[in-house]
Amino acid sequence: MLSIAFSLAVLTYYIGVLIYSIPIPWYGLKRWAPMLIVDGIIASGLVLFFNNIILLVDYVYDLLGASWDSYLSHMKSLWAMLFSLILFIEMFLTVLTKMPLRIYLFSSILYTFRSILSYGLLIITLLIILSIVVKTLLPKLVALSILLYSIPFRIARTAGASLLAFAIVFYIGLPLMPYFILTLALPESVPETFNTLIDYGVAYPRILIKSLHDDPIPFAILNVYSDNGELIARYVSERDGWVYASYPNKGLPAIKEYYVDIVYYGLVFKTIPNRINPLTHYIEADEIRGTNYECIVTVPGIVKFHKGILVLNNADIIYKLLSISEQGDLTDISLIIDVKNNGYYNLIALPDDYQLLKITLNQSSIKYNVMKLNWFGKTIDIISISLNSSTYSIDIQLAGKYTEVNIPKSIEKPYVLSATGGKSLNEILESVSTTYAVLSIIFPTMYIIMLTMIAYGFASFLGARYPRIPFRVS
Amino acid sequence: MLYNLSDLVELIRNLTFQIAAIAWVLFLLSWVIGWAIRGSPVPFIRVKRVGQDLIEDAILAAFWLAMGTTIFSIIAYIISLIAVPLPEPPLP
């Protein structure tokens, strides 16, 4: 390209000479002659100066401290944030559209946020593409603009000068955009935990906690953990064994998998499934109390739950028969179990409303151990006995009436409310969306306009004159 | 039709050479015509001025024509004082 430019420059010079030498005294034409000669000289100078132009541009670029890498990483992180916000809003809307109208109506503003953020995403994408183009093509653009500049009769001089100005100004200016944005930046009023919310998503399921024998377990504490072990939510199951993670402030993750465990009577139990995957484990259901998905979690560590009595499971025991019967004030538990190894096993956990009358092992009395725990003001007895590897028939007799344990609501850590730091989800989404809309739409547009004005001025300096007819029109 | 860049460059070089040759011939022509008009017995001063301009332009043309090569080498020399040579063209 440069050799063409050079030869064009030389051509321009000689055309100028030719015009000088034409024996026709037409002054309009003759005026072009010196112009062309000078143009030819300048254009050839530019061609030879090409490499220096590139070096000069790089020098100014270093001088101003611009850095393409930091710019690109900044843009990419902004893009990622916008993208995840949009994804979150989309997913949240999908969840909400399945809710009844009274709940869904209040979130129609989310569509506006989604549109604004999509525009932001578009602009940032365009900027990233533009930056990559300018960065990789700078030498070619400069060569092309010199070529245009050296075409005779100044035909493409304006185009060449504008292209050169544009390429140089944007090459130096675009990487400085993050500094521009920072000086005008709005304060980020988003709590850190909000990012968890965006990563994990929000849905409103209800979770049934049940024992191995399908008894719903009320007043159990369900802990919800993120992938790195952080506690992101905690709920207490209701009297019917369900945890209602209801709209709008409770909720549970909807996109990523999360871990749960159950705490009951001070004992921690693993669950099946231990790692809940919302995409496979949430089942669509009718809306009850602000939740529209169901999920069932089994606690294998609890074989049976009966009015506050837990029959605990152990790895080395197989429960062949288990029955609980009541007569008035007396409760009778009969177990037939297969024990694989000798050991000391926790059999049952009872609140102190019950009194242990007797335990018989194969119809004979046996020594047992009682461990006491405190659980929200109730004392819990955990009965354990030592067993050998064999089959046993155990009978336990209890007396007493069950009263419910009172777990204060303050122990709950609602997923959405704690992640947004106490504000409603709509409020937070609004402030985050506006911040990012401004960051990604308004500031870049302002900056691009500034750069374009600078490029325009620079182009005029380089010789872009807007067209004037070369003879006088009076 | 042009098949590659060097053809285009060749084309422009040929054109330039032809123009230089034509310019040389035209210089002679316009010089002579200029003197002829200047020396004509027409009594209008403007005619004389036309002739004078033609002569001057012709001489200037001859001057710039002759200086052409020199000028370009002067520029190349000046630039080379402060320039970095062009990189090697990429090999296919």
Q: What's the confidence (pLDDT) of residue A407?
A: 79
| Contact residues for A160 (Cβ-Cβ < 8 A; gap 6+) | A144, A145, A146, A147, A148, A149, A150, A151
Q: How confident is the model at residue A473 (pLDDT cuts 50, 70, 90)?
A: low
- Rounded Cα gap, residues A349 and A265, in angstroms: 8
Residue B1 scores a pLDDT above 50:
no
CB contact under 8 A, B30 and A7: no
Q: How confident is the model at residue A182 (pLDDT cuts 50, 70, 90)?
A: confident
Q: What's the confidence (pLDDT) of residue B87?
A: 54
CB contact under 8 A, A16 and B64: yes
Domain boundaries, chain A: 1-48, 64-189+427-462, 194-300+408-419, 309-400
- Rounded Cα gap, residues A432 and A410, in angstroms: 28
- Rounded Cα gap, residues A86 and A63, in angstroms: 38
Q: What's the confidence (pLDDT) of residue A60?
A: 80
ipTM summary value = 0.75
Q: Is B76 on the interface with A (CB under 8 A)?
A: yes
- For residues A181-192, average pLDDT: 67
Q: What's the distance, Cα to Cα, between the start and end of chain B in Å?
A: 22
**Which of A13, A21, A25 has the CB atom closest to B68's CB atom?**
A13
Mean residue pLDDT of chain B comes to 80
Tokens 């159950």: give the residue: A262
Residues A49-90: tens digit of each pLDDT: 777 778 888 888 777 777 778 888 888 888 888 888 888 888
Q: What's the confidence (pLDDT) of residue B85?
A: 56
- Rounded Cα gap, residues A309 and B9, in angstroms: 97
- For residues A179-205, average pLDDT: 75
Q: What's the confidence (pLDDT) of residue A188?
A: 63
With respect to CATH, is domain A309-400 assigned 2.60.40? yes
Q: Which two tokens stand for residue A240?
A: 């019917």
Question: How many Cα atoms sit within 13 Å of A18 on the Cβ side?
Answer: 17
Range in A181-190, A286-295, A426-435, B41-50 with the lowest mean pLDDT: A181-190
Q: What is residue A62's three-state secondary structure?
A: helix
Residue A467 scores a pLDDT above 70:
no
Same fold, A194-300+408-419 and A309-400: yes
Chain centroid to CA A414: how far? Answer: 19
| Contact residues for A205 (Cβ-Cβ < 8 A; gap 6+) | A245, A252, A278, A282, A291, A292, A293, A294, A295
Residue B91 scores a pLDDT above 80:
no
Q: Is A436 on the interface with B (CB under 8 A)?
A: no
**Which of B8, B16, B83 has the CB atom closest to A10's CB atom?**
B16
Q: What's the confidence (pLDDT) of residue B84?
A: 60
Q: Hey, which of A123-132, A381-390, A393-402 has the most confident mean pLDDT? A: A123-132
∠ CA A250-A254-A259, rounded to 5°: 85
CATH of A194-300+408-419, one of 3.40.50.10800, 2.60.40.1120, 3.40.1160.10, 1.10.230.10: 2.60.40.1120
Which of B64, B82, B86 to probe by mutation at the A interface, max A CB count within 10 Å? Answer: B64
Phi, psi dihedrals of residue B88, rounded to the nearest 5°: -60, 140
Range in A116-130, A157-171, A394-408 with the lowest mean pLDDT: A394-408
Q: Find the farthest-apart pair of alpha carbons in chain B and give their distance in angstroms, rounded.
A: 69
Q: How far is CA A365 from CA A39, A44, B23, in A?
A: 116, 112, 130
**Which of B16, B24, B27 has the CB atom closest to A7's CB atom?**
B16
Q: Are A318 and A338 in contact (CB under 8 A)?
A: yes
